[in-house]
Amino acid sequence: MTLQKLLGLGVLSLSLLATGAVAQDKATKQAEVIKSTQTTLERFYKEKPELKAAVESAPGFGVFTTYGVSFLIGGSGGTGLVRDNKTKKNTFMSVGGASAGLQLGASQTELLIVFKTAAAMNKFIESGWEAAGSVTAAAGASGATAGGGKGSSAMEDANTYTLTKTGLEVGIAGGASKFWKNKDLN
């Protein structure tokens, strides 16, 4: 066998192994997001038991976990998914945010979006969503929450709920969040 053929087989073998590793890595990451979603939903249901019926009867829902830090200027990012209750399909998404104002803190926040219509859910999946403005006074540690409950929504056809899982965050700030499909996990 020539050196050129050996190199070709080596490259092909490495490509096949890498493809398998990427698929495994993608499946592992998807499983982590799904597990995190279930854990987050259980926390929401514990805080507001009536949310379970709302989520199950809705056309779909989204669950996101974000991590943020702020000192006058803030930033956050995270992942989550939108679940179509009719088709049982998960769409994996990312979220990022920025803010500026009188603010200080670091936190892990969980967001639940309960869609009132399939059209609103599909628009969210396809176009993302941008939300602006915030007044924050939330604290949470060791699973305790404060600042939870129904939040304001830039979408008329959805209800949003937030829980601050850990950290401390205080302030008044203007900011924006953007949601989009995670191309690596879909």
pTM value? 0.72
Distances (CA, A) of 12 to 9, 16, 69: 5, 6, 44
Q: What is the pLDDT along the chain (186 residues), one digit of tens a residue?
A: 443 433 333 333 333 333 444 456 999 999 999 999 999 999 999 999 999 999 999 999 999 998 888 777 778 889 999 999 999 999 999 998 887 776 677 778 899 999 999 999 999 999 877 665 555 544 443 333 333 333 334 467 899 898 876 655 566 666 778 899 999 999
Residues 179 and 77: their CA atoms lie apart, in Å, by 10
Per-residue tokens: 103: 């603010």
pLDDT at site 112? 94
pLDDT at site 76? 84
pLDDT at site 129? 73
The amino acid present at 8, given as its one-letter code, is G
The DSSP result for 29-72, as a single string, is HHHHHHHHHHHHHHHHHHH-THHHHHHHHSSEEEEEEEEEEEEE
Per-residue tokens: 8: 């070709």
Instruction: Provide the total of helices (H) and of strands (E) in the chain, helices listed first.
Output: 3, 5
pLDDT at site 36? 94
Q: Residue 181: what are its φ and ψ, rounded to 5°?
A: -65, 140
